[in-house]
């Protein structure tokens, strides 16, 4: 009798262990084919059946990115019951093939089932306003920023920018206040109604020898001999030293900037007071280290005079004074130094600390 009861109990437990839900999708991959970006959101429905022998519960559905939104059957699904997971793909901003995943979490085994949606997006034709975002009177530029990016100090670099005349009259574009190291040419010189043209900018870094790092120029725009009030072309470049002509022997004998630390904490200061900081370094190279330029990241940091030639083995320092003014709380400010060390030609230093507000100031 006892043996029979034990056998029955074992069979009941075994049955309970065996009984489990099973998430069985008709397909786990949906191919949209080719869709157009301007057609709007596209839906994919994944149907499934609980082919197990206990209740199935979908606990969570997690898309791989925000471009897919999902709905799913949230109620318990009995054995033999059916459900769905819906994925929605928004093609806006896409212009190539895509493949996205949706992870379905449940009480089945395995606990996670991955669904895939894929396809090819054919980009829509952009409007003139989207292609030429910067409007200046009757003409539109691709942007108000002409970026020359990293430019060697020995280099003459060229950048171009499209422009279009959206008016019904001819348009002549000219520039005022152009610095000596920059030239801007419009082709054709006069744009016919609806005509597209090109602005060609040339940056001669050799003519801007006193500046280093990120430098900016603002150039005024004039259309049909009429200056445009408060409208500027923003021109930028990151000026760096040219080490490309150095031989391996010269590189081996180059100076080496070794900082004790590139971050200095001035602790705490009160508002409208100052804190002095010092960055100490050593020239561990085999030739003179030259500090080409030192630039503060903000007007709140004043740089002290510093020795700009450091012999091999000698120590040097960069000193600065942070003026707290109306700042409050944690402060992080940068200083940039430019040297003739090929491996550390541009180094960012950081000043940090806390500006305390006196009680009762109401600030």
How many angstroms separate the CA atoms of 348 and 85, rounded?
Answer: 51
pLDDT in tens, the chain (363 residues): 445 545 444 444 444 456 899 999 999 999 999 999 888 899 999 999 999 999 999 999 999 876 787 899 999 999 999 999 999 999 988 888 999 999 999 999 999 999 999 999 998 888 899 899 999 999 999 999 999 999 999 999 999 999 999 999 999 999 999 999 999 999 999 999 999 999 999 999 999 988 999 999 999 999 999 888 888 999 999 999 999 999 999 999 999 999 999 999 999 999 999 999 999 999 999 999 999 999 988 887 878 767 899 999 999 999 999 999 989 999 999 999 999 999 999 999 999 999 998 776 555
CATH code for the part of the protein at 20-122: 2.60.40.10
CATH code for the part of the protein at 248-356: 2.60.40.10
Each residue of 116-131: pLDDT tens digit?
999 999 988 888 998 9
Spatial contact of 118 and 31, defined as CB atoms under 8 Å apart: yes
- 128-240, superfamily in CATH? Immunoglobulins (2.60.40.10)
Residue 5: what pLDDT?
44
Residue span(s) of the chain under CATH 2.60.40.10 come to: 20-122, 128-240, 248-356
> Which residues does residue 145 pair with via DSSP β-bridges, in sequence order?
234
Each residue of 199-230: pLDDT tens digit?
999 999 999 988 999 999 999 999 999 888 88
> What contacts 46, CB < 8 A, 6 or more positions away?
25, 26, 27, 28, 30, 84, 85, 86, 87, 115
Q: Which of 84, 87, 113 lies closest to 99, judged by CA?
A: 87
Phi, psi at 296, each rounded to 5°? -85, 145
> What contacts 181, CB < 8 A, 6 or more positions away?
203, 204, 205, 206, 207, 208
Each residue of 300-328: pLDDT tens digit?
787 876 789 999 999 999 999 999 998 99
Residue 104: what pLDDT?
94
Average per-residue pLDDT in the chain? 90
By CB atoms closer than 10 A (0-12, 13-18, 19+), residue 115 is buried
């Amino acid at each position: 009798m006892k043996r029979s009861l034990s056998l029955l109990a074992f069979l009941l437990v075994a049955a309970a262990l065996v009984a489990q839900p099973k998430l069985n999708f008709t397909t786990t991959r949906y191919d949209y084919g080719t869709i157009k970006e301007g057609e709007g959101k596209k839906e994919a429905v994944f149907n499934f059946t609980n082919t197990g022998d206990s209740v199935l519960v979908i606990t969570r559905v997690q898309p791989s990115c925000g471009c897919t939104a999902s709905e799913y059957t949230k109620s318990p699904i009995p054995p033999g019951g059916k459900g769905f997971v819906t994925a929605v793909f928004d093609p806006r901003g896409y212009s190539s093939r895509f493949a996205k995943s949706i992870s379905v979490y449940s009480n089945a085994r395995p606990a996670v089932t991955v669904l895939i949606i894929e396809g090819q997006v054919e980009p829509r034709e952009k409007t003139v306003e989207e292609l030429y975002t910067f409007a200046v009177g009757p003409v539109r530029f691709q942007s108000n920023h002409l970026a020359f990016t990293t430019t060697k100090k020995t280099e003459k670099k060229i950048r171009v920018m499209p422009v279009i005349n959206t008016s019904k009259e001819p348009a002549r574009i000219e520039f005022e206040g152009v610095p000596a190291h920059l030239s801007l040419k419009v082709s054709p010189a006069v744009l016919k109604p609806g005509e597209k043209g090109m602005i060609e900018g040339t940056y001669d870094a050799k003519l801007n020898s006193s500046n280093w790092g990120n430098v900016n120029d603002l150039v005024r725009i004039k259309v049909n001999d009429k200056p445009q009030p408060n409208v500027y072309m923003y021109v930028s470049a990151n000026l760096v030293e040219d080490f490309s002509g150095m031989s391996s022997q010269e590189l081996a004998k180059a100076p080496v900037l070794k900082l004790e630390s590139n971050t200095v904490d001035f602790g705490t200061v009160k508002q409208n007071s100052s804190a002095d900081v010092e960055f100490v370094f050593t020239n561990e190279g085999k030739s003179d280290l030259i500090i080409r330029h030192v630039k503060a990241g903000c007007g709140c940091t004043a740089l002290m005079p510093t020795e700009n030639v450091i012999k091999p083995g000698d120590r040097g320092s960069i000193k600065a004074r942070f003026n707290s003014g109306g700042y409050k709380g944690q402060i992080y400010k940068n200083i940039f130094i430019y040297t003739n060390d090929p491996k550390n030609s541009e180094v960012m230093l950081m000043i940090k600390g806390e500006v305390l507000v006196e009680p009762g100031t109401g600030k």
